[in-house]
Copies of this chain bind each other. A is one copy, B any other.
């Protein structure tokens, strides 16, 4: 899978570029050569060549080198392709096909859940939930998941503003009980709900992270509850987490750190 041996020069370029960060964004040739272990002539030639194409900009006054506009331009292009919905759509289609269930993508807006993308499963059964639909945050896998990753003050505001209305027999309407469920969700990294909002429906949700490590959306698999038995659920959990991870990665999320 991985390559044999990267081009030496690319490794060197990578090593140089690694030096630039938010704290220190300008370096002298000698500094760079020392930190990277490269010879001064190599460092000089590399930087100058990169400057020729706008990757590097030399400060005329200090003679030090910094990152050039080209990285900003290319960064903007990458950013444009990091659009949540666009990125998610592909992965959602794939997931829906694999599990043969409906997949939805939801975000939080004004302390409510909003569905922003949906891919129907091939099954004859269709889920009512539509793109644009707004619902409370305390019931359903997707909603609970989003709520779980909200800061405590926000959760508090949510309880105060909307309360915990009951939709079915299984809706969690007790604050204590809900908070326990939320911390379990955070621990497990996914949320499960069975008939919390609608009779006969079950759902599994996993968090989507952006490049800053913030939860920006929930990815959810919804279907008839008889498809979510313990055995099948284990498979679904693996799949939904992989899919959510894939989206997160494409948004620039780095799991380690």
Contact = CB atoms under 8 A, between A and B. Distances in A.
A53 B22 contact: no
B52 A3 contact: yes
A31 to B, nearest CB: 17
A22 B77 CA distance: 6
A49 B81 contact: no
Contacts of A14: 52-53, 55
A20 B50 contact: no
B68 A10 contact: no
B49 A7 contact: yes
Contact of A7 (B21, B45, B90, B252): B45
Given A2-B52, A9-B9, A46-B10, A71 B74 contact: yes
B3 A49 contact: yes
A6 interface: yes
A199 to B, nearest CB: 37
Q: Determine chain A's interface SS by DSSP, over half rule.
A: helix
A11 interface: yes
**Copies, count:** 2
Contact of A72 (B45, B48, B69, B252): B252
A82 interface: yes
A242 interface: no
A17 B74 contact: yes
Interface in A138-159: none
A249 to B, nearest CB: 8
Nearest to A2: B52
Tell me which of A10, A45, A79 has the highest count of chain B C-beta atoms within 10 A of its own C-beta.
Answer: A10
Given A3-B52, A71-B74, A72-B211, 6 more contacts: A3-B49, A14-B52, A20-B74, A69-B78, A71-B75, A72-B82
5 contacts: A7-B49, A21-B77, A66-B81, A67-B77, A69-B252
10 A-B pairs closest in CB distance: A75-B75, A6-B49, A10-B49, A14-B53, A7-B49, A71-B74, A72-B78, A6-B52, A3-B48, A69-B252
